Structure 1
Amino acid sequence: MGMEAAPVPAPATPRAEPGALRRAAYSPLSLWIAFLAVHLIVAGLALDQGKGLGDVFLVYKPWAQLAAQGTQIVGVNSDWVYPFGAIVPIMLPLLFGSDGYVWGWLNLVTLLNAAAFAVLIVGREPRRMIAAWWWLAFLLLLGPIAVGRLDAVSASLAIVGLLWLTLHERAAVVVLTAATWIKVWPAAILLAAVVALRSRWHIVLVAVVTSAVIAAVPLIFGAGWHLLSFITMQTDRGLQIEAPVSTIWMWQAAFHVPGAEVYYDRQLLTFQVSGQGTAAAGSLMNPLFALTAIVVTLIGVRAVRRGTPYTRILPELSLALVTAFIAFNKVGSPQYVVWLAAPVVIGLAYQGRGFRIPAILVLVTAGLTQVFYPFLYDWLLVPDPAMVAVLTVRNLMYFVILGWTVAALWRKRHRQEAAGDLVPAHAWPFHSAPGAHAEPVGGDPR
């Protein structure tokens, strides 16, 4: 587990002269070349037959056009499945024109990822360079869905927020709160920060004020209860085929059990599964997630009380809560895997090799997801037993990741065991101090 690995020293200059491969790996030029190559490959795959960008040109673009015309602003004069803040990244690609909306979307995601990538690698701290390579591998393994949904926008913001958290807390919380108003899941990272850091009430205050400012915009234009419609629209939907809870009925459908079948919900534009007991299972998901989130949060509080440093609690608790959000979600869309990137990036930045196990598990989860989505997705709709088997293994990975994080949080770990953890000294444009370097954990920064 995270604490069992030997800490990685992070001196500015290694004892031995690094080899050519190591120098190349730590070179910003190499990283930026790799960044460009990965995004070109992933974008190219997404553009192939448009399978990775269906929501972009079939759903996002019409929403943006209606809002630009003043005909209908989702979340203001109609219910919407997303929080109101999502309208901003959805409308920005219109700057490229209606015909260029898809290119505008890909450019938006690439620019946001580039900004997060720059924040990550500036300072050239070895652990953050490794985290950068990990993120690129993650994007490549996950494939088109990594850039084809709103989750990509919230993920890049979450990475920036986590990197800023110990350098400029107010800016970090504003970014994380804004990400939450695009997709709800970054709220799990905010909760983890409240538990892990001593300045928890300041975090809550900044998040509340930021939320109030964001919510004031649609309310001024008469949104009313439409502002919170994303909550009720999620609770009323059925079981999406990719969700872990749907696995048993997907197997029934694969073997033609009467009553079990895959169908298309035309209102929500998703493929769902029907069968005996699906309604009851769907109604249990929110309570199960709430219970799991409470238990995991209490385990995090226990870790704080036992003196576990925040460099251990923050990434592990963030990953646990985000994974629970997916594991007990009746939607379970392929793009949800994107959520796992931010906790792993900060875990690698803080702990180095100590976070390698969850980093590998998340890479495997991403790779398994691309096996069935988007190019072989039709086989899952049949559903083909072999593809359902891949989906089953992918869904089991969520529980493996959740189990690892909970076990890591539960262990009694003393401060000296985390002596090799490092707190970033730079995260553009913020610095902890002039000429500062990443330093071992010696206490809570707050």
Structure 2
Amino acid sequence: METTGARRTLTCLLLTWGVTRLLLLLFVFKVYVFPGPDVTSDVSAIYQGWYDVLRTGTFPLDDVTWQYPPAAALAILSPALLPGLDYASAFFVLAFLADLAVLALLVYAGLRPGRRLRGAWVWVAGVPLLGPTVYARYDVMVVTVAVAALLAGSRHPRLMGALAGFAAMLKVWPAMLLLGSRARGSWAAAAVTVSGLAAAFAVTMPGAFAFVTFQRDRGTEVESLGSLVFHVARHHGWPGEVLLNYGSVEFLGPWVNIVSTAALALTGMAFGWLLLWRLLATRFEAHTMADAAFVAVLMFTTTSRVISPQYMVWLVGLAAVCLGFRASRMAAPAALVLAACFVTVLEFPLWFAHVVASDPLGVTLIAVRNGLLVLATVAAARVLWRETVPRPEPAHVPGQAAHAQEAPASS
């Protein structure tokens, strides 16, 4: 009976994945047009432009929109693996295959003892909630490597570290996957991988680390937590404006640098909390590494100066790994993330014009989406702390026990 139930669940899972992913492909190939701005334009214009530059053996040195670690060049160049297709079509197919690879990893892990398929369901449901943006950005490729790293976990620490290091060189956030690892081998493997890739790119391709400066100069993007200050301020005479800047739509004008600095300070405080957790945590289970990575990336995303829609796929992937463990208690934060994904597709691309205009609908969507992220972050951090950090013993007051023993005698 259990085998029959598992087969039915797996069949339903695969059918749901197939139907939803077919819809995503129909949208990115424009068989059907998804409402709002064209999310595929980044692939055909920006990515393909980078592709043409990278093929010459150098990074886009004069393009401030290139804000990625050097191994991101591999993702941008990957459509060359499918020479029979134009660049955009090849990219969409590879994004689809990366999505399929994540599903395969989660299903394989979910069928092992002590695991479950609920994590795979999170992935199947979460990706289409974000709309076609998932297939029009290379983030889904990064998530594939990150999920593989977490699933390697404590059983293969060196492999986990190497994969985390490689993923971090694709996009910085996967470095936080190592937070919950206690194996020195994983940290060593990550360091060797990062060092080797950094040296190889620095020697072979000029401008490998120009992205550091470009990232430093970013402002406050209109979808970020800090942007709510200016969305409201625009209705009270704030003289700034909204413009495309450093590859995203940002607020420019008075006080923007102060809000951006405050966002960086919040990120610093979040890392401080994570460091304190790492020093005090003593109870590490099989799922702790995934839970810690989920909390860390939630904190990084929520406090960031930029919360682009594709960032949400990071959280969906990590939440899926967490819920693949029967012992994980991250169900409520994962549900909040899925709700935030649905609101995200409403604010971008569906009603992005309202967000840019800071009208009541746009402000409400940003407030609700970011509010859900804040709630998910607090809830996940609370779960992680309570499950891993031992509670302090109650202070012992001298003479209290003796007094307690004498009390019945005096009565």
| Structure 1 position 203 matched with structure 2 position 189 | no
- 1:274-293 maps to which residues of 2 (within 5 A)? 274-293=252-271
- 1:217-256 maps to which residues of 2 (within 5 A)? 217-221=200-204, 223=206, 226-253=207-234, 255=235
SS of the residue corresponding to residue 326 of structure 1 reads: helix
Residues 413, 94 of structure 1: CA spacing in aligned structure 2 closer, same or farther, 3 A cutoff?
Answer: closer
RMSD: 2.6
Letter in 2 for 1:157: V
Letter in 2 for 1:84: P
| Structure 1 position 153 matched with structure 2 position 141 | yes
Residues 37, 230 of structure 1: CA spacing in aligned structure 2 closer, same or farther, 3 A cutoff?
Answer: same
The answer to whether the 8 A contact 2:334-2:376 is kept is: no
Deviation sequence 1:235-272 (CA, Å, 0-9, x none): 1111111111111101223x26231432222xx22111
Deviation sequence 1:122-167 (CA, Å, 0-9, x none): 2634844221111110011111222221211111111111111233
Letter in 1 for 2:354: W
| Structure 1 position 316 matched with structure 2 position 291 | yes
From 165, 171, 177, the equivalent of 1:189 is 177
Q: Distance in 2 between matches of 1:181 and 1:173?
A: 12
Q: Distance in 2 between matches of 1:259 and 1:128?
A: 53
The answer to whether the 8 A contact 1:117-1:132 is kept is: yes
Give 1:368's aligned residue: 343
Greater CA deviation, 268-277 or 244-253? 268-277
Letter in 1 for 2:199: A
SS of the residue corresponding to residue 354 of structure 1 reads: coil
Letter in 2 for 1:343: L
The answer to whether the 8 A contact 1:300-1:317 is kept is: no
Q: Distance in 1 between matches of 2:361 and 2:214?
A: 32
Percent identity for Structure 1 against Structure 2: 24
Q: Distance in 1 between matches of 2:107 and 2:359?
A: 43
Q: CA deviation at 1:286?
A: 2.5
Residues 284, 256 of structure 1: CA spacing in aligned structure 2 closer, same or farther, 3 A cutoff?
Answer: closer
Gaps of 5+ in 1: 1-12, 416-446
Q: Distance in 2 between matches of 1:239 and 1:190?
A: 28
Q: CA deviation at 1:394?
A: 0.5
Q: CA deviation at 1:348?
A: 0.9
Letter in 2 for 1:212: S
Letter in 1 for 2:20: V
- 1:117-132 maps to which residues of 2 (within 5 A)? 117-122=103-108, 124-125=111-112, 127-132=115-120
User: Which protein shows a greater Rg?
Assistant: 2
Deviation sequence 1:270-321 (CA, Å, 0-9, x none): 11113432111212332331221121231243222xxx23335323321221
| Structure 1 position 214 matched with structure 2 position 197 | yes
| Structure 1 position 339 matched with structure 2 position 314 | yes
SS of the residue corresponding to residue 154 of structure 2 reads: coil
Q: Distance in 1 between matches of 2:38 and 2:309?
A: 13
Q: Distance in 1 between matches of 2:291 and 2:40?
A: 32
Letter in 2 for 1:365: A
Letter in 1 for 2:210: S
Letter in 2 for 1:213: G
SS of the residue corresponding to residue 262 of structure 1 reads: strand
Give 2:400's aligned residue: none
- 1:277-426 maps to which residues of 2 (within 5 A)? 277-304=255-282, 308-351=283-326, 354-411=329-386
Gaps of 5+ in 2: 391-411
Q: CA deviation at 1:212?
A: 1.7
The answer to whether the 8 A contact 2:69-2:209 is kept is: yes
Q: Distance in 1 between matches of 2:101 and 2:51?
A: 24
Greater CA deviation, 344-353 or 107-116? 344-353
Q: Distance in 2 between matches of 1:175 and 1:391?
A: 34
From 53, 58, 61, the equivalent of 1:73 is 58
Give 1:431's aligned residue: none
Give 2:157's aligned residue: 169
Letter in 1 for 2:356: L
* Residue correspondences, number: 382
Give 1:179's aligned residue: 167
SS of the residue corresponding to residue 273 of structure 1 reads: strand
Give 1:26's aligned residue: 10
Q: TM-score, normalised by structure 1?
A: 0.79
The answer to whether the 8 A contact 2:121-2:320 is kept is: no
Give 1:83's aligned residue: 69
Residues 132, 312 of structure 1: CA spacing in aligned structure 2 closer, same or farther, 3 A cutoff?
Answer: closer
Deviation sequence 1:410-441 (CA, Å, 0-9, x none): 226699xxxxxxxxxxxxxxxxxxxxxxxxxx
Q: TM-score, normalised by structure 2?
A: 0.85
SS of the residue corresponding to residue 26 of structure 1 reads: helix
Greater CA deviation, 49-58 or 84-93? 49-58
Q: Distance in 2 between matches of 1:133 and 1:179?
A: 23
The answer to whether the 8 A contact 1:162-1:342 is kept is: no
Give 1:43's aligned residue: 25
| Structure 1 position 63 matched with structure 2 position 50 | yes
The answer to whether the 8 A contact 2:329-2:383 is kept is: no
Q: Distance in 1 between matches of 2:60 and 2:280?
A: 39
